[in-house]
Amino acid sequence: MSDTYAGQTDELLINMGPQHPSTHGVLRVLLRLDGEIVLDADPDIGYLHSSLEKIGEAKTWQQFVPYTDRFDYLSAINNEFAFVRAVEKLLGVRVTERCEYIRVIMAELQRIASHLMYFTSMGLDTGAVTVYLHCFRDRERLIDLFEDATGQRLLYHYLRIGGVRNDLPHDFVARVRDFIDYFPARLQEYDNLLTRNRVFRGRMEGIATISREEAVRHGMSGPCLRACGVDHDLRKIIGYSVYPQFEFEVPVYDTCDAMARHLVRCDEMVQSLRILKQATDKLPDGETNVKVPRVIKPEPGAVYERIEGPRGEVGCYLISDGSDKPLRMRWRPPSYFNLQPLPQLMRGGYVADTVVAIASLDIMLGDIDK
């Protein structure tokens, strides 16, 4: 009996998600397996589609700002940054120096918080459950800072057209400096717990590779692209806001695998601390907001604003027809383009590596599904 079936295998079509602890949101991946080897993967998105681009045409320019938070809800400040800068460009408004510094400080704090969340899910997905608690302990410190400055823990609606909602609390800078002193030791801890862990490295090295050429043709950006040896960081290349005034490096690795993406994010946290230190040292006094009309009606025109979010290039294309609502609000999400080559990352790997592949891309379904 057993000889009749010897050597015959069947392909298995299995569903991963949309409710799944490791898909980083509601992502469904249809896997075609031959035993434990993935023959093909087909990501199915749209479970979180909230027609935000349609809403963008129905709300006024200021009304849409809180909606931008909800795209990539783990790095809300960066989303607001892109949208608010785009509208300011349409209006021809220049914000004050203090406002730019505050925005950069918030953006970098948000970058660290977002990467800590990545660490959490990376640990969880590879089986290292304790890392979650360590990262969240530190993330709570950042969230407390955000709560004191903006009133919100996660979705801030802090950056406004023409400035920010309110000036920083009086002890904010001191607490950021405390965090800068406190955090490097924690980074060392994460290094020992995760990055240098032999089991973790075995699960990450050589897994979910994509070639440099393919990554660029797919429009991948952020840590995913910098892990393929492409030195592309919009903070350096465009130098938007006041980033040119700070000295920092852009970590680039070239093994194109999940471990490289992980290392890029680890190093980015160190560089964010550098930017924060310089920004808090040089934070100028002055007004935070400029006067912007109550009913905003930009001149007809179009602008595309790109910024570097924790996950990659966040873009906002706004078309104004002179009225108080956008004619078109197009969001260019980083995770959308980062997720597209998922079949290539998964093909030929094991089922257990599918989870690592998704986690290493650090995607955000709110961004992907808009």
Partner 1 sequence: MSDDAIPTDLAERFADGITTAADGAWEIAVSAEQLRETLAFLGADRQPAFDYLVDIFAVDYGEQFEVVYHLSRPRTHEMVRVCSRLSRQKPSVQTVTDIWAGASWPEREMMEMYGVAVEGHPDPRNLLLPEGWKGYPLRKDYEYPDDHPWLSRDELHDKPGEYLKQHPVEE
Q: How far is the CB of 73 from partner 1 (least distance, A)?
A: 17
Tell whether residue 238 is a contact of partner 1 (CB under 8 A): yes
Q: Does 40 engage in binding with partner 1 (CB under 8 A)?
A: no
Measured from the CB atom, the residue of 52 and 194 that comes closer to partner 1 is: 52
- Kindly tell me the burial class for residue 298, based on how many C-beta atoms sit within 10 Å of its own C-beta (0-12, 13-18, 19 or more): buried
**Residues 142, 78, 288, CA angle at the centre, nearest 5°?**
80
Q: In the complex with partner 1, which residue's Cβ is closer, 148 or 213?
A: 213
Q: What is the layout of strands, in order, in the sheet containing 328-332? A: 301-309, 312-320, 328-332
Region 309-328 residues binding partner 1, contact defined as CB under 8 A: 313, 315, 317, 319, 327-328
- Closest approach of partner 1 to the CB of residue 24, in Å: 17
Cα 102 to the center of its chain, rounded Å: 19
Q: How far is the CB of 111 from partner 1 (least distance, A)?
A: 20
Query: What's the closest the beta carbon of residue 82 comes to partner 1, in angstroms?
Result: 12
Cβ nearer to partner 1, comparing 125 with 362: 362
String marking each residue 250-289 x if it binds partner 1 according to CB under 8 A: ----------------------------------------
Binding part of the chain for partner 1, among 128-136, 169-177, 286-294, 295-303 by CB under 8 A, reads: 295-303
Q: Which stretch binds partner 1 (CB under 8 A): 14-22, 30-38, 199-207, 300-308?
A: 300-308
Q: Are the C-beta atoms of residues 316 and 332 closer than 8 Å to each other?
A: yes
Contact 74, 143 (CB under 8 A): no
Q: Could you give the string, one character per residue 80-109, with x where binding to partner 1 holds by CB under 8 A and - elsewhere?
A: ---------x--------------------
Give the number of C-alpha atoms closer than 13 A to the C-alpha of residue 345, restricted to the C-beta side.
Answer: 29
| Of positions 88, 337, 345, 354, contacts partner 1 by CB under 8 A | 337
CA–CA dist 49, 271 (Å, integer): 34
**Smallest distance from the beta carbon of 319 to partner 1, in angstroms?**
6
Question: Between residue 195 and residue 234, which ones bind partner 1 under the rule CB under 8 A?
Answer: 213-214, 216-220, 225, 230-232, 234
Among 306, 349, 356, 365, binds partner 1 (CB under 8 A): 306
CA distance 289 to 163: 4
- Closest listed residue to residue 74, CA positions, set 333, 352, 253, 329: 333
CA distance 186 to 138: 8
Does 53 engage in binding with partner 1 (CB under 8 A)? yes
| Min dist. Cβ of residue 315 to partner 1 (A) | 6
- CB closer to partner 1 out of 230 and 283: 230
3-state class (DSSP) for residue 319: strand
Compute CA 214 distance to the chain's CA centroid, rounded to the nearest angstrom.
21
Q: Provide the minimum distance between the beta carbon of 76 and partner 1 in the complex, in angstroms, as a whole number.
A: 21
Candidates 203, 207, 214; CA nearest to 340 is 214
Residue 58's CB: how many other CB atoms inside 10 A? 12
- In the complex, what is the shortest distance from the CB of residue 304 to partner 1, in angstroms, rounded to a whole number? 6
Q: In this structure, are residues 209 and 341 in contact, taking their beta carbons and an 8 Å threshold?
A: no
d(Cα 19, Cα 59) in Å, to the nearest integer? Answer: 32
Give the shortest CB-49-to-partner 1 separation in angstroms.
4
Q: Which stretch binds partner 1 (CB under 8 A): 71-79, 182-190, 199-207, 331-339?
A: 331-339
Count CA atoms within 13 Å of residue 235 on its CB side: 24
Dihedral of alpha carbons 94, 100, 104, 106, sign = negative
- The CB-of-330 to partner 1 minimum distance in angstroms stands at 5
Residue 207 three-state SS: coil
Contact positions vs partner 1 (CB under 8 A):
45-46, 49, 51, 53-54, 57, 89, 213-214, 216-220, 225, 230-232, 234, 237-238, 301-306, 313, 315, 317, 319, 327-328, 330, 332, 336-337, 340-341, 369-370
